[in-house]
Chain A
Amino acid sequence: MSVHVAPLKTYIYVFLALMFFTVLTVGVAFVNFAHHAPKGIGNVLNDAVAMSIALTKAVLVVAFFMHVKGSTKITPVVIWGTLIFMVILFVFTGADYLTRPMTTFVPVMSQ
């Protein structure tokens, strides 16, 4: 197996970026975005900010520390494939929860 090793500098930069985002995560935890947003999406906004920082960090780890960037083409295919199946799980399950309140059961046998 030929493992593609990036120069050490790359790893240091990525590590520093991860540290920065960690500090940022802690920082934004003290800010309530709900105050600055229209009613109703306030809490969603807090989650969205935290999750996008986390996602950025995850991408950095996967791409550099897990050597996906620079590996053979099949590796990203596997990762994207897995993500797609996770999305399927969430979307179809979510479709049930989102539309369940719209379902009205008419009692067939009533009187």
Chain B
Amino acid sequence: MTETNLNLNKNTTGRYGEYGGQYIPETLMNELDRMAKAYEHFKNDPEFKTELHDLLVDYANRPSLLYYAERMTKDLGGAQIYLKREDLNHTGAHKINNVIGQALLAKHMGKTRLIAETGAGQHGVATATIAAYFGMECEVFMGKEDTDRQKLNVYRMELLGAKVHPVTSGSMVLKDAINAALQDWTKRVDDTFYCMGSATGPHPYPLMVRDFQSIISQESKAQLKDQTGKLPDMVVACVGGGSNAIGSFANYIEDPSVQLVGAEAAGKGVETNLTAATVERGSDGIFHGMKSMFLQNKTGQINPVYSISAGLDYPGVGPEHAYLAKTGRAQYVGITDDEAVQAFEYIAKTEGIVAAIESCHAVAYVQKIAPTMRKDQIIICTLSGRGDKDVASIAKYKGVDIDE
């Protein structure tokens, strides 16, 4: 496996058209500036790049497989389907790619404490994992609603040595956890590195997270070329804040023949208020440090959002996705709870893979689109995570009584 190309995008200004920026309190500005400069330096530092590479290979289990889903392909009867298996990474999701990069940068900046926000707990677990590995202090902010719903992940983080803070402000979910993490950071900028979980927030986060996740498409492009000699016709990934999707798209953005599709969580339906379909239902705004698209009311208050998937339950999207949507380079489609749950069962039964409910939003779109495509066409679908964490809640959704 080759080292990650961290210079994929020459635009390092933190602006994606009109989106992006650094809309953040003054207290954090110097620290963000230091971080941006440190990243610009270390991404070209051979020692840093080697360390990153070795951790991805030896610790995170990269490269991840590009797996030809023969049964799904046959069953759907259209395009050939390849699954990019981020579920096989250490800690079971793409999140580890990003935290390895950020924690390594933190270490080189002399930081000793990592903080993070988490929704379902996946990013919190990944951060706690890497903090344990580096011997760093770790504190994770998680909405009280989510600590109640995801007790197992709370325990897992504690097991890894992290301290978990249940956040009781606002609606007590992911966006409130981000608020709390930002607030903690303003109190303690000197020794603390905020390890952001998605390609969101103020510059340089969207850029860094995209670069660290771009290993997904760097690998898939080479793997597909090896296996078929071709470029894919379409790449599909689920979108919460957009980190696995931007990583899945990054190396194809300059290939106009490759269609890029983000699957958003429509919850009970794009037209309902119980949704998290930011690109389809949202509008331009400024929040969490970035100008991007958000689900908000007319006054500009951020809406509560809903999805069965805690990892997609976010009222915004990273600024580069807003830009890709606006320019038409990528399309974003809403997948409902029902469709995602159906895909969860489908891929389990067809391919023997229990995939994360987040990832199943992408799978559901593949089920719809593949039959409409030609047999010589190719879709790469990113499986961002494994679904063990979701088994109990899907059983509950289906009305099955299982004794935990």
- Tell me whether A and B are bound partners: no
